[in-house]
């Protein structure tokens, strides 16, 4: 029976007998009322939480509570799901956080990041790996041959190689004022979490599509040619007119790669948008997000202006180990009234088959 019904039964009985509640009845009535009030408060909390989630478009992960707890505990670490270079200035209630403490504020003006291209390109991801290096096997082509009716078959065994992926640490920190934590009313937590994930994704992408030689601490950029002697930034094919662009495509397709896309720098996109297919044809090479029917993705994270990559990006492997770790440092910025978040994530990226990609330019690269 519901608590309210139990309370009514006690009161109705005493009323029917025209008497006051006995001591036992009064204690039982008070117990039922306290339980009822507690249940109503819990229901109200649930409703308020759901209304908050709907208003801000995401569930709270407990990060903000963790930050508040840092005032009384020595150290904390929380993991948030992934997929950095971080802000070097503190987020504070008196500057970036001024509008955050306003009750009617509708959103946060977050930093702009280059639009992520990795997922759109169809890169092969290996998320949440356990500790240690991994080896991804790469199978070569098998061979078959013609033979006479009774002749021996040839050996058609494939060859196998492997690509080793090793965790490399991507790290940074961000400072948040304790005043902002105390005055949070509209979900600073969600903004901080999104900002961290975006920053890590952006830095990872810029490294992969860059021209760094790579090392034990960071992946090699796709524009670095380790097979050259001596190793150097790649010599880019000439793609300054439509006929040359078609020739670049032919090299990849001749190796039987058909799930192809273009990755363009902003300047390469601009050049291709202004490039006609021929002097007698006013149709442009780049139209509607495609180059002659092939999807083209643009990002400012391409490491060489005016450069582009054409290929099958399922042969680009990106691995992550565990989740993004956020350590709460209560003391380093204590004199400034800030809590420091130290962010660590572990990634690696490598090309599985080099002949799956062609590297070109639409202008002279200095």
Q: Which 3-state string (H, E, C) describes 121-158? A: HCCEEEEEECCCCEEEEEECCCCCCCCCCCCCCCCCCC
CATH topology for the 61-140+160-366 domain: phage-related protein like fold (3.90.1690)
**pLDDT tops 50 at residue 105:** no
> Is there a contact between 312 and 358 (Cβ–Cβ < 8 Å)?
no
> What percent of the chain is predicted at pLDDT more than 70?
72
Strand 286-287 and strand 232-233: the pairing is: unpaired
Residue 290: both structure tokens together = 């495609």
The per-residue pLDDT for 248 is 95
Q: Which residues contact 76 (CB under 8 A, 6 or more apart)?
A: 66, 69, 70, 327, 328
Q: How far apart are CA 254 and CA 256, in angstroms?
A: 5
The better pLDDT of the pair 67, 19 is held by 19
Q: How many other CB atoms are found less than 10 A from the CB of residue 113?
A: 15
Question: Residue ranges of the alpha helices (H) in the chain?
Answer: 3-16, 23-56, 63-69, 118-121, 178-183, 188-208, 242-253, 266-273
The better pLDDT of the pair 37, 115 is held by 37
27 class by beta-carbon count within 10 Å (0-12 exposed, 13-18 middle, 19+ buried): exposed
Residue 244: both structure tokens together = 């040359």
Cis peptide before 69 (omega within 30 of 0): no
The per-residue pLDDT for 187 is 67
Chain segment 228-246, per-residue pLDDT in tens: 889 999 999 999 999 999 9
**pLDDT tops 60 at residue 249:** yes
The per-residue pLDDT for 191 is 74
For every residue of 75-86, DSSP letters joined together read: -EEEEE------
Q: How confident is the model at residue 103 (pLDDT cuts 50, 70, 90)?
A: very low
Query: For residue 238, which phi and psi values (nearest 5 degrees)?
Result: -80, 115
The continuous run of DSSP H or E covering 161 comes out as strand 160-165
Q: How confident is the model at residue 170 (pLDDT cuts 50, 70, 90)?
A: very high
> Is there a contact between 306 and 263 (Cβ–Cβ < 8 Å)?
no
Q: Which residues contact 265 (CB under 8 A, 6 or more apart)?
A: 298, 299, 300, 302, 304, 305, 306, 307, 308
Q: How far apart are CA 222 and CA 354, in angstroms?
A: 10
The per-residue pLDDT for 266 is 96
Q: How confident is the model at residue 274 (pLDDT cuts 50, 70, 90)?
A: very high
Chain segment 10-57, per-residue pLDDT in tens: 878 878 887 777 878 877 877 777 776 666 655 554 444 444 444 444
Q: How confident is the model at residue 282 (pLDDT cuts 50, 70, 90)?
A: confident
The span from the first CA to the last CA of the chain, in angstroms, equals 82
pTM exceeds 0.75 for this model: no
45 class by beta-carbon count within 10 Å (0-12 exposed, 13-18 middle, 19+ buried): exposed
Query: DSSP secondary-structure letter at 346?
Result: E
Q: How far apart are CA 159 and CA 156, in angstroms?
A: 10
Chain segment 288-336, per-residue pLDDT in tens: 999 999 999 999 999 999 999 999 999 999 999 888 788 888 889 989 9
Q: How confident is the model at residue 102 (pLDDT cuts 50, 70, 90)?
A: very low
**pLDDT tops 80 at residue 73:** no
Average pLDDT over all residues of the chain:
79
Strand 134-139 and strand 160-165: the pairing is: antiparallel
For every residue of 272-311, DSSP letters joined together read: HHT-EEETTEEEESEETTEETTEEEEE-TT-SSTTEEEEE
The better pLDDT of the pair 358, 178 is held by 358
Q: Which residues contact 123 (CB under 8 A, 6 or more apart)?
A: 313, 314, 316, 317, 318
The per-residue pLDDT for 79 is 53
């Amino acid at each position: 029976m519901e608590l309210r019904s139990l309370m009514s039964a006690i009161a109705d009985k005493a009323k029917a007998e025209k008497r006051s509640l006995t001591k036992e009845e009064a204690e039982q009535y008070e117990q039922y009322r306290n339980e009822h009030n507690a249940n109503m408060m819990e229901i109200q909390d649930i409703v308020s939480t759901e209304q908050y989630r709907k208003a801000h478009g995401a569930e709270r992960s407990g990060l903000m509570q963790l930050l508040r707890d840092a005032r009384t505990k020595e150290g904390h670490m929380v993991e948030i799901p992934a997929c950095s270079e971080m802000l070097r200035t503190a987020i504070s209630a008196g500057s970036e956080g001024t509008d955050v403490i306003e009750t009617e504020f509708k959103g946060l003006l977050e930093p702009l990041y280059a639009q992520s291209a990795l997922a759109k390109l169809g890169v092969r991801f290996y998320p949440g790996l356990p500790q240690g290096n991994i080896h991804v096997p790469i199978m070569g082509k098998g061979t078959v041959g013609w033979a006479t009716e009774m002749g021996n078959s040839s050996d058609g065994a494939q060859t196998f190689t492997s690509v080793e992926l090793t965790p490399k640490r991507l790290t940074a920190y961000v400072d948040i004022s304790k005043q902002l934590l105390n005055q949070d009313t509209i979900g600073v937590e969600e903004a901080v979490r999104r900002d961290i994930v975006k920053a890590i994704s952006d830095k990872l992408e810029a490294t992969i599509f860059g021209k760094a030689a790579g090392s034990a601490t960071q992946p090699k950029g796709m524009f670095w040619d380790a097979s050259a002697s001596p190793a150097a930034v790649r010599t880019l094919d000439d793609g300054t007119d439509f006929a040359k662009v078609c020739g670049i495509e032919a090299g990849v397709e001749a190796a039987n790669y058909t799930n192809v896309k273009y990755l363009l720098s902003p300047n390469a996109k601009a050049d291709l948008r202004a490039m006609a297919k021929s002097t007698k044809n006013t149709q442009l090479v780049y139209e509607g997000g495609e180059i002659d029917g092939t999807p083209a993705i643009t990002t400012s994270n391409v490491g060489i202006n005016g450069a582009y990559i054409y290929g099958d990006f399922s042969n680009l492997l990106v691995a992550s180990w565990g989740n993004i770790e956020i350590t709460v440092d209560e003391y380093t910025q204590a004199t400034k009234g800030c809590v420091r978040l130290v962010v660590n994530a572990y990634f690696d990226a490598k090309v599985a088959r080099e002949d799956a990609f062609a590297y070109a330019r639409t202008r002279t690269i200095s």
